[in-house]
Each structure stands twice: as structure tokens, then as C-alpha cells.
């Protein structure tokens, strides 16, 4: 076999939060591209199902039941992935938990728990990835974020605070990697509301069933964006039509957005379906069973996003913009004549 005929070894990917939702869809998407995947999460049932999907797609899977709030456990999991699958090429931080409730109804212990999982879990994963990637001077770390990393909304102070912290942490790390001239790259993928099992198991004090703020998208769109971000050196990737609107609206008119969200977002985050006050949640322990990637809002969820398609085709978007600008100038000139 000649040098050009040699087949590159499979990429090794670690996905935290891989048992359900975006993490589950992402693990499946990487496996479909031929990658081997280390699956980190707490729930054994979901991890087992995720491993079967990875293997059906043609990849190898290593299952690691880990709470990402435990830094030592995350690092041990990374060592096992490298021992069984080879050097880690991509690390995707996706594990999260949340409390959906007004601040006045959320306890200090709940804030601490969400912070330990949703923020410090990303820190722990990033540190484990860096320990292995920096000596090799290569690798990609993907921080799965949200439009809420830029613009907070009511009822989600625990989650928004953690996502804001992840953005600050990632911005600082990116500067340090640039300073060092490192070949390791970090990017953040900012997502819209998604149809995941999160809303069936989130801790909440609401009387009605939580829902993602519409418009809602399927988690496979998020997985596509994460794969794309792995191969393209973008600082941040925005996904879904509402994401840039939320981010830029919050920057340009924060007070106006405050009042709009105060008026609309309590209702926007709840269905008409009542839920019992003692509904179990995943906050402290994983719930039994395999939750899969999808939630209960599939009928309203979009699989594609025009915004994301344009964001991944900058030359086409720029050309279209120039054509539109030229057409506008010509129209103004014609009216002046």
C-alpha cells in the first residue's frame, strides 16, 4: 500500500451528557462519520442505548458512568478512553442540568448543583482534554452553549448563569491558546430551544409542563452544527433563526428586551398541561430508563435552519448581500432619474 493509499485512523471523540438529548444525537452523528466515541453521563440505561447506536453506526463506544461535577472521575474517564480508543481528537462538553423556577423559589443548594454540573463540568472536561491535547499540539474542544449564554431569560437563572460562566471561561482560554501559539482549538456552539427530554425531567416549581421557547428545533440540527464546528475554525457558531436575534437584540436594546421577556417568557416556557408538584427530576440523580434524544415537542420541531445554512456558507451569503446591495443602489438611482 502506498503512502497515499493509507487509511487514516478513526477519530476519537468524547461526548459528555451523551445519554440523552443533544449529547446523544451528537454521539450518533460522530459515529455515522466513522468516529469512535467515549460516552460520559450518569444514567446507565441511556448510556447503554447510546453505545448500541454508536456501534450500529459503525463506530466503537466506551461507556463511562460519570458525574461531570467530579473532576477526578472525569479525568479517569479520559484516561480510559485513550487506553481503549486512542488519543482524543475532539472533546464535546454537553452535560447539563437546570432548575426551571423563579430565583425566589430556587434554593442555594440547587444553584450550587447546577453550577457544579453545567459550568464546572465543562471546566473539568476542558482541563482533562487540555492535559492530553496540549502535548500533542492538536485537538478541538467544543463547548455546547446557548443563546442564553449571551442573553438571560426569566425562570432560568441557574442555567443562564452557568452558560454565561462557560462563555467567560471559554473566551479566556481562547486568548491563552492564541498567546501560546497552540494547535489546540476551542469553539462554542450557541443553540436555540430544542426538542430534548430536558423538559420532561428538569426540576421545576412551575404548575404547568415546561417547554422550550418557540421556535423549537430537533437535536439533530445541534449535532450537525457541532460536527461542523469541529472542522471549521469559527470562534462561535450560532444555530437557529432566533439565536442571533436574541444575542444582538440583547446587546443593542437590553432594557427593551428585559421588558419584553418579563411580559412574554413566563407563558412561553409552559404548556397548558398541569404537572404534579412532586414530579421527580434529574437534578441530584439520573432518572431510570432510556430517554433518547427527543422530547415531547416533535410535532412542532424543525429539523433544518436557514440561518445555520447561511452561516456555514459565508462566501455565498456575502455574494448574495453584495447582489442585494447593488440591486438596492440601482433601484435608488432609477428612482432619482
CATH number for the domain harbouring residue 110: 3.40.50.720
Q: What is the pLDDT of residue 91?
A: 98
Instruction: Give the model's pLDDT for residue 146.
Output: 97
8 A C-beta contact, residue 23 and residue 95: yes
User: Is 160 a domain residue?
Assistant: yes
- How many separate domains does the chain show? 1
| pTM, to two decimals | 0.90
**DSSP assignment of 142-196:** EEEEEGGGTS--TTBHHHHHHHHHHHHHHHHHHHHHHHHT-SEEEEEEEE--B--
Per-residue confidence (pLDDT) for residue 8, from 0 to 100: 58
Q: CA-CA-CA-CA torsion for 287, 288, 292, 296, nearest 10 degrees?
A: -60
Length of the chain as a residue count: 337
Catalytic, 282? Answer: no
Is 330 within the bounds of a domain? no
Residue 171: give the domain boundaries: 8-323
**Residue 166 Cα distances to 66, 109, 224, angstroms:** 20, 20, 21
Write phi, then psi, for 28 (nearest 5 degrees).
-65, -40
CA distance 184 to 132: 10
**Which residue in the list 119, 122, 159, 238 is annotated as catalytic?**
159
337 located within any domain: no
Residue 2 forms part of a structural domain: no
Per-residue pLDDT of the chain (337 residues; tens, 9 = 90+): 333 444 456 899 999 999 999 999 999 999 999 999 999 999 999 999 999 999 999 999 999 999 999 999 999 999 999 999 999 999 999 999 999 999 999 999 999 999 999 999 999 999 999 999 999 999 999 999 999 999 999 999 999 999 999 999 999 999 999 999 999 999 999 999 999 999 999 999 999 999 999 999 999 999 999 999 999 999 999 999 999 999 999 999 999 999 999 999 999 999 999 998 889 999 999 999 999 999 999 999 999 999 999 999 865 444 433 333 344 444 444 555 4
Amino acid at each position: 500500500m502506498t503512502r497515499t493509499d493509507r487509511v487514516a485512523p478513526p477519530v476519537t471523540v468524547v461526548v459528555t451528557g451523551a445519554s440523552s438529548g443533544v449529547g446523544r444525537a451528537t454521539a450518533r452523528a460522530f459515529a455515522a462519520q466513522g468516529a469512535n466515541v467515549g460516552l460520559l453521563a450518569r444514567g446507565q440505561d441511556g448510556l447503554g442505548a447510546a453505545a448500541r447506536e454508536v456501534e450500529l453506526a459503525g463506530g466503537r463506544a466506551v461507556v463511562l458512568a460519570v458525574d461531570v461535577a467530579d473532576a477526578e472521575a472525569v479525568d479517569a474517564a479520559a484516561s480510559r478512553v485513550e487506553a481503549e480508543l486512542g488519543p482524543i481528537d475532539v472533546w464535546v462538553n454537553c452535560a447539563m442540568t437546570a432548575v426551571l423556577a423563579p430565583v425566589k423559589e430556587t434554593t442555594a443548594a440547587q444553584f450550587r448543583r447546577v453550577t457544579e454540573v453545567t459550568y464546572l463540568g465543562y471546566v473539568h472536561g476542558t482541563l482533562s482534554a487540555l492535559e492530553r491535547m496540549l502535548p500533542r499540539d492538536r485537538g478541538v474542544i467544543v463547548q455546547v452553549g446557548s443563546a442564553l449564554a449571551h442573553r438571560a431569560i426569566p425562570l432560568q437563572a441557574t442555567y443562564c448563569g452557568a452558560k454565561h460562566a462557560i462563555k467567560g471561561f471559554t473566551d479566556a482560554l481562547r486568548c491563552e491558546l492564541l498567546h501560546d501559539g497552540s494547535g489546540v482549538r476551542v469553539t462554542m456552539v450557541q443553540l436555540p430551544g430544542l426538542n430534548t427530554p430536558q423538559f420532561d425531567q428538569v426540576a421545576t416549581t412551575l404548575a404547568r409542563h415546561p417547554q422550550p421557547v418557540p421556535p423549537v428545533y430537533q437535536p439533530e440540527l445541534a449535532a450537525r452544527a457541532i460536527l461542523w464546528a469541529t472542522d471549521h475554525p469559527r470562534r462561535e457558531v450560532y444555530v437557529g433563526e432566533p439565536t442571533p436575534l436574541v444575542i444582538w437584540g440583547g446587546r443593542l436594546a437590553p432594557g427593551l428586551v428585559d421588558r419584553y421577556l418579563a411580559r412574554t417568557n413566563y407563558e412561553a416556557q409552559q404548556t397548558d398541561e398541569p404537572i404534579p408538584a412532586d414530579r421527580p427530576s434529574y437534578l441530584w440523580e439520573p432518572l431510570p430508563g432510556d430517554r433518547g434524544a427527543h422530547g415531547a415537542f416533535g410535532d412542532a420541531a424543525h429539523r433544518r435552519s436557514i440561518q445555520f445554512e447561511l452561516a456555514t456558507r459565508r462566501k455565498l451569503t456575502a455574494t448574495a448581500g453584495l447582489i442585494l446591495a447593488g440591486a438596492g443602489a440601482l433601484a435608488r438611482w432609477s428612482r432619482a432619474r
